[in-house]
Amino acid sequence: MAAEAETDDQTDVPQDAPIGDVSGDPLLQLLVENGIVEEEDIARIKENGSRTGQSIRQTVIHMGITTEDDLLEIVAGYLGATVINLPAVDIPPEVIHTIPASVARMYNVVPVEKDANSVMLAVADLISPQTMDELTFVLSRDVSFAVAREEDVRNCINQFYGDESASVNEMLASLEAEIDQVSSAMDLSSEAAEEDIEAAAGSAPIIRFVTLVLYQAVHDRASDIHFEPFAKEFKIRYRVDGALYEMTPPPARLALPVISRIKVMSSLNIAERRLPQDGRIQIQIAGKPIDLRVATLPTQNGMESVVLRVLDRSVVSLDLENLGMSDEVFELFCADVAKPNGIIIVTGPTGSGKTTTLYSALRRVNTVEVKILTAEEPVEYDVEGIIQVPINPLVGNTFASVLRSFLRQDPDVMMVGEIRDLETAQTAIQASLTGHLVFSTLHTTDAAGAITRLIDMGVEPYLCSSTLEAVMGQRLLRSICPRCKTSYKPDRSILEQLGLSETEIGDRELHYGEGCQECNNTGYKGRRGIYEYLQVSNPIAMMINERKPTLLVRNKAIELGMRTLREDGVRNILNGYTTVEEVLKYT
């Protein structure tokens, strides 16, 4: 879970919303107004969308509440547009060239008609007033809309603008001349006037370039985007499946306007380059809602390094069944999260999927009869039916203070983003002793280490042993790309590294990815969790009370049946999910 605190204007505390609350989703509001969705169904639709990562549009169609054709008529009526059969429309090349490929993909639109001052765009979903303004500015034309089926819009974009593997570098080259005009028209050094920087950040080429970078990151399923200005170059890197990949560096002169554009989008102060800032961007990319967490960091020469954390709900599943746990761990974990009180801790390094595991557990117990409160820094997922409080130490909203306030809110289940100090740990223990179930995380290398970490903080061993139900240790390993998956017979040296014998592996073959266009020649696509689950049984509790060292607690847990991270990694290797290299690297 990220460790940055959000600024004051980003920390509105969510409140209980009525069942019929459709604020924040104009499509859902439109469906209610047209009698398609009943108010009592709203919570179910939102919960379903949150769990599956689908948009409201996809959810209501998938749930059978309406058909796509009926939905298109409603959207068309709202936009004052008509529904068209896009494959039957003959679109001349000069119309297609009205908009760049990056804009078509970013906004999920296809031009169908144009004149000297305007263009008509085919869309599949509602277009917000803000998006209309952006399209008008970027295209330098008035825009109007026709409504078409989502699949038809997507197929036309791929047909007219090439498939989705089109290179960012090729599109960047097409923007070079326009960018040169922007940069040569004004002084864009770190000492440039604020109005010049703001003008450059708001210019059409810079907007299109940032749009292109964001689109490519979402298309490649990146979890982070790093904008890194140096004295003589400007690097942009994506983190995909835990590994960093660099795009061809754009001109160094783009650093200031590009970073300023990101700060404008996240409502940050573009004139302030001496202090770190945190913000948030909520946008639609290719018809999908995307959340971006923005963190800036001052560097030398008056520049800033910026990292965007990408949260694409369409690729996040909050179902415990989909996290890759073994049947044994899954059953034990489900039994523990159903208990009325106690503490359950998830451990692992940053980026190991702890937040996803916690939210999947919360979603499992999230029913009408259960009150759930979370304290997070920042709030990663917005989940219907859960009261979520963002931590902001700048105003005194710490984990410990918020957790104390939780006890006065009569909750059943609480989640605290991280136990960092004795005060937070003691409050969590107090909550569990008074009949609450508490979920949290710790940064330790394995499950047994969490017990030692709590005692090192100052928690009395008897309190630790009496409240702690279980500790989940986890890592995320890259999954082999299914398209280029290749089998091979392992040699003895590989088996020795994994602690396996030739008898144990028998005739089984191992797998790796050769590399293909689908996985950008990495051999991997997506990630999968490996887990070790330490239940605090009576023998473990006795060892905690006796302050036994981590190694002895770990060995006892293994003796009692705990499968280690390495062993779970080997299970994934033998099942063909990941490679030997990934398991050896992370366990």
SS (H, E, C) 349-412: CCCCCHHHHHHHHHHHHCCCCCCEEEEECCCCCCCCCCEEEECEHHHCECHHHHHHHHHHHCCC
Q: Does residue 464 contact residue 364 with C-beta atoms inside 8 Å?
A: no
At 109, the amino acid letter reads V
Q: Distances from the Cα of 276 to the Cαs of 179, 192, 261, in angstroms?
A: 28, 20, 16
Q: Does residue 361 contact residue 321 with C-beta atoms inside 8 Å?
A: no
d(Cα 572, Cα 526) in Å, to the nearest integer?
Answer: 14
Q: Tell me, what's the pLDDT at 163? A: 55
CA dihedral 536, 541, 544, 549 (to 10 degrees): -60
Q: Tell me, what's the pLDDT at 481? A: 92
**34 CB burial (10 A radius; 0-12, 13-18, 19+):** middle
Spell out the per-residue pLDDT of the chain, length 587, in tens: 333 333 333 333 333 333 344 445 778 888 888 888 877 778 778 777 766 667 777 888 888 888 888 888 888 888 888 899 998 888 988 888 888 777 888 788 999 998 888 899 999 888 878 788 878 877 888 899 999 998 898 888 888 886 554 445 555 566 666 666 655 555 555 566 667 777 777 777 788 788 888 888 887 888 899 999 988 889 999 998 888 888 878 788 888 889 999 999 998 988 888 889 988 888 877 667 788 889 999 988 778 999 999 887 666 667 888 888 999 999 999 999 999 999 999 999 888 889 889 989 998 999 889 999 999 887 777 777 889 888 888 788 888 888 888 988 889 999 998 898 899 999 999 999 999 999 999 989 899 999 999 999 999 999 999 999 999 999 999 999 999 999 998 888 888 888 888 887 878 889 999 988 888 888 998 889 999 999 999 999 999 999 999 999 999 999 999 999 999 999 999 999 999 999 998 88
**Residue the block writes with tokens 């085919």:** 122
The three-class DSSP label of residue 165 is coil
- Supply the DSSP symbol for 5: P
Q: Tell me, what's the pLDDT at 314? A: 62
Q: Tell me, what's the pLDDT at 11? A: 35
| Residue 555 in tokens | 């060995």
Q: Distances from the Cα of 296 to the Cαs of 6, 188, 400, in angstroms?
A: 12, 19, 26
d(Cα 337, Cα 297) in Å, to the nearest integer?
Answer: 38
Q: Please state whether beta strands 413-416 and 234-240 pair in parallel, antiparallel, or not at all (unpaired).
A: unpaired
Q: Does residue 374 contact residue 392 with C-beta atoms inside 8 Å?
A: no
Question: Any long-range contacts for 193-198 (C-beta under 8 Å, 24+ apart)?
Answer: 194/270, 194/271, 197/256, 197/257, 197/260, 197/270, 198/260, 198/264, 198/270
For 326-340, give the secondary structure using H, E and C. CHHHHHHHHHHHCCC
Q: Tell me, what's the pLDDT at 24? A: 55
Q: Tell me, what's the pLDDT at 186? A: 52
| Residue 265 in tokens | 């989008």
**Residue the block writes with tokens 């090439």:** 162
At 104, the amino acid letter reads A
